[in-house]
Amino acid sequence: MYEVELKVQAAHEPIREALAAREATRLGTVRQADTYYDAPHRSFADTDEALRLRHETREGGTEEREGDTAEDEREMTHLAYKGPLIEAASKTREEAETAVADPDATGAILAALGFAPAARVTKHRERFVLGAYTVALDSVEDLGTFVEVERTVEADDGIGAARDGARELLADLGLDPDDQIRTSYLELLLDAPDADGSTDG
């Protein structure tokens, strides 16, 4: 599976208004705390790969999802592998992700195998669905506000169409696709002055 994504740095309120005018479906707001790991057998910084453990908490005041019955459904954790960027025109990577039932046990397994926490990225994300795309309004601690447009495709022959659609959607929302940032939040934080690898506020 491939994640096709375009990201720009932008204020949120004009985009929120544009999404409302286009009757986008609001999914609510979550807090995401992402822990990235270094591998014992190769440098992910050198290979442009990432191994991420994400703990996500739905925040108060967001819309309830159909079928919600328990408080613990407000929290979830996923483990994801992200491959290197595969094209220059977008932030597209091969991705594999799975839900994690016990985050502490997963962390212990990774540690026993030699994977060490490298950095943490924390953000608040407001999500919308518009057509085949998810639009995220991200407030990243120590970085600022960003807008991401993304969708997943099963095979690489769908990447071009997905990328072009993402560019069209960004433009329709009043943003310039040529302003896209292909650098991940992790890389932006690690490149920031006085970065210490911890951004969990």
Q: Report residue 60's pLDDT band, with 50, 70 and 90 as the boundaries.
A: low
pLDDT (tens digit per residue) in 97-137: 999 999 999 999 999 999 999 999 999 999 999 999 999 99
Report the pLDDT value the prediction gives residue 194, as an integer from 0 to 100.
60
Which of residues 198 and 144 earns the better pLDDT score?
A: 144
Lowest mean pLDDT across 59-73, 98-112, 133-147: 59-73
Stated pTM of the model: 0.86
CATH number of 2-193: 2.40.320.10
Cβ atoms of 133 and 165 within 8 Å: the answer is yes
Q: Report residue 39's pLDDT band, with 50, 70 and 90 as the boundaries.
A: very high
> 110-130 in b/e burial notation, b at 16+ Cβ within 10 A?
beeeebeebbbbbbbbbbbeb
Residue 44 CB: number of other CB atoms within 10 A?
Answer: 19
Would you list the domain boundaries of the chain?
2-193
Mean pLDDT of all residues in 51-72: 66
Report the pLDDT value the prediction gives residue 162, as an integer from 0 to 100.
96
- In this predicted structure, the answer to whether residue 63 has a pLDDT above a threshold of 60 is no
pLDDT (tens digit per residue) in 80-90: 999 999 988 89
Q: Report residue 48's pLDDT band, with 50, 70 and 90 as the boundaries.
A: very high
